[in-house]
Amino acid sequence: MQKPGSNTRHYFQFNIILLALFVILAYSGCNSTSQSPNATPTTSFTPTSTLETPVSPTSSSTPGLSPTTSPSPTTTSSPGSVTDMVTKYYQALEKQDYNLAYSFLDPNATTTTGQRLTLEVFKGMAQTSDSTEGQITTFSIGTYTPLIVMTITRRNGPYHAHLQVKLEGSSWKITSLDLI
């Protein structure tokens, strides 16, 4: 025969063991150094950290960032920042300088549907966006190299554009885009 309260004692011990296992599992998960499957880069470039930089293309300075003048030539061959390239690209679009904006594209750049972006096709897309949506007023940049996610604001409100980029020699080039 069982002693009175024996089941209660076993139940209490069982709960203590479960609690201890839970604490051990929770603690080991906090100290895990493994990377998530999404952290695997899709190119040979080291992914950059997320950067959301609000940019007002026509202002002389951006809060949180120090204004820069023309970049000074360097003797090293280190590439310029992908964020700098995209900022200059969108500043050219904001000024409707489509030839300058086009110079930031790879010669074989395409739309996400595979259409090759010749200067004429590019200008047509940019002019259509400007006439139907209004000129670019602000934009922000999210870098997930080789993917750039832009938040662009025009007269009709904000939207997202997606750019694929690659490092060519010492400069970044846009290889694919969905919207301007």
The answer to whether residue 111 sits within a structural domain is yes
Residue 13 within any structural domain of the chain: no
Domain that holds residue 87: 42-62+80-177
Q: What is the pTM of this model?
A: 0.59
Predicted confidence band of residue 131 (pLDDT cuts 50, 70, 90): very high
- 27 occurs within a structural domain: no
Q: Is residue 105 domain-resident? A: yes
Is position 164 within any domain? yes
CATH number, domain with residue 113: 3.10.450.50
Task: Please report whether residue 139 resides in a domain.
Answer: yes
Residue 1 lies in a domain: no
Instruction: Determine which helix (DSSP H) or strand (DSSP E) holds 148, and give its type and residue range.
Output: strand 147-154
Interval 40-86: pLDDT, tens: 333 333 333 334 444 444 443 334 443 333 343 333 335 689 999 99
In-domain check, residue 68: no
Q: Which long-range contacts (CB under 8 A, 24 or more apart) does 110-117 make?
A: 110/175, 110/176, 111/176, 111/177, 111/178, 112/162, 112/176, 112/177, 112/178, 117/177
